[in-house]
Amino acid sequence: MGWGFVSHLADRYDLDVIVEEEKFRAEIERWQAENPQHPAALIHFHFIPKKRNRFLRKIWPPSYYWYYRRWHCQAAQLARELDQVRDFDLLHQLTMVGYREPGYLWQQEKPFVWGPIGGAGFFPWRFLGSVGLYGAAYYLAYNFYNMVQLRLLGRARRAAARAGKGLIAATGENLDAARRYWRCDGYVLSEVGCSGKGGSRITRRESGEPLRILWSGRHTPGKGLNLALAALAELPESVDWELHVLGQGRLTDKWQAQAGQLGITGRCCFHGWVARDEALALAAGSHVALITSLRDLTSTVTIEAMEMGLPVIAPDHCGFADAINEDCGILVPVSRPKSLIKGFAQAVAHLEGDEMLRRRLALGALARAKKYSWSNKVERLASIYEVRLAECEVPKRKVV
């Protein structure tokens, strides 16, 4: 996500980018050396190591923020030092995509942009019984902490206020939360993007072929594959389908067992983690993408599925509600588990039985994906920069 933005912003701006050292330095420097003619090769990268305590994080996951906050203190100090030499015109807190850590760039007296931010949505309460004991405990705590933190995290509130019209939310529900809890307005700009180089051809489903459904993600409670399995088990035998599941996780065995209990194992293929090229090949051979996440942002899978000409069936919440429309997929209302399962089943049956509709939505998906190309997204981001610079009467030159 971060690379997608900065590598395309480099076409327009003189950039300084502060990055975590351990994860990214070797890869970034290798890429710049191998692509000297690309505008991103001219980005001034500055690397700061981040301390970690992986054992503590396993015991208490939020401890991640203790160390991340320390890293942001160092990043802000470095930005101040660089500003003395580079005289930046605008500061952008780009990552992480989460409102809980806004960093400290907003404290400097320069035009400031923050986002895309996420994490301000809530897990649907009525679905707590659908994610198992661990999932229910996790998301119950998640909702509680969100209610508290959205109201009490003063640094996030102050960063949003400093951003002003430069506040960017990853989804509509996150912008709604900013308006409700922080009394701030801004823009919606998805956190994920695509190349914009998708083809114009779609996968045709020939007569007698099953409808091949692609599901991809980590096998964790919030991803909701169990709902998809329950929905497919409700379909009559006359509906011809295959489910191809990518990914793996703590619930893989449980979901495979569920498929067996429902009597649909023969139609489900669990591929596990596969190389990206193989994943794209499986997507290219599919006819529809099914997303069942109960808590997410936009999800890269959504955008990449559309770029490959796959209609998307998804819940009508999170970033899916922003990305999917009637021209490229089917959104299923999120009210109760039984109605969501029924809605998934009806959507699959509808597309399996109407190939002309599926092809129309597939072409619509190709067209819709263009809106999420990195070049289009950076065009939108540049307009937000211009608003902030104009407010402060600063001509565009350098961005950090």
Q: What is the pLDDT of residues 85-113, one digit of tens each?
A: 999 999 999 998 999 999 999 999 999 99
**Comparing 2-193+373-399 with 211-371, is the CATH topology the same?**
yes
What are the pLDDT digits (tens) for 335-348?
999 999 999 999 99
| pTM reported for the whole predicted model | 0.91
Q: Enumerate the domain spans of the chain.
A: 2-193+373-399, 211-371
pLDDT of residue 158: 96
For the cut 60, the answer to whether the pLDDT of residue 260 exceeds it is: yes
What mean pLDDT, rounded, does the chain reach? 93
**In 3-state terms, what secondary structure has residue 316?**
coil
Task: Determine the angle formed by the axes of helices 337-353 and 225-234, rounding to 10 degrees.
Answer: 60
pLDDT tens for 8-66 read: 999 999 999 999 998 899 999 999 999 999 999 999 999 999 887 777 777 777 777 78
Q: Does domain 211-371 have CATH number 3.40.50.720?
A: no
pLDDT digits (tens, 9 = 90+) for 175-231: 999 999 999 999 999 999 998 777 678 889 998 999 999 999 999 999 999 999 999
* Architecture category of domain 2-193+373-399 in CATH: 3-Layer(aba) Sandwich (3.40)
Q: Please state, in angstroms and rounded to a whole number, the distance separating the CA atoms of residues 31 and 60.
A: 35
Whether the pLDDT of residue 330 is over 80: the answer is: yes
pLDDT in tens, 130-162: 999 999 999 999 999 999 999 999 999 999 999
- Determine the pLDDT at residue 57: 72
Contact 243, 268 (CB under 8 A): yes
Q: What are phi and psi of 65, to 5 degrees?
A: -70, -25
Shortest CA distance to 233 belongs to which of 272, 266, 205, 210? 266
Q: Calculate mean pLDDT across residues 279-289.
A: 95
| Residue 279 near residue 308 (C-beta atoms within 8 A) | no
pLDDT at 391: 84
pLDDT above 70 (res 397):
no
d(CA 193, CA 232): 30
**Which residues on adjacent β-strands are paired with residue 18?**
46
Full DSSP string of 273-302: S--HHHHHHHHHT-SEEE---SS-SS-HHH
Residue 353: per-residue pLDDT = 96
Q: Are 87 and 395 in contact (CB under 8 A)?
A: no
pLDDT given for residue 68 in this prediction: 87
Q: Do 204 and 317 touch, CB atoms closer than 8 A? A: no
Asked if residue 291 lies in contact with residue 315, where contact means CB atoms within 8 angstroms, the answer is yes
User: In this prediction, what percent of the chain has a pLDDT beyond 90?
Assistant: 87
Q: pLDDT at position 56, please?
A: 74
**End-to-end CA, the chain:** 16
CB 93 within 8 A of CB 102: yes
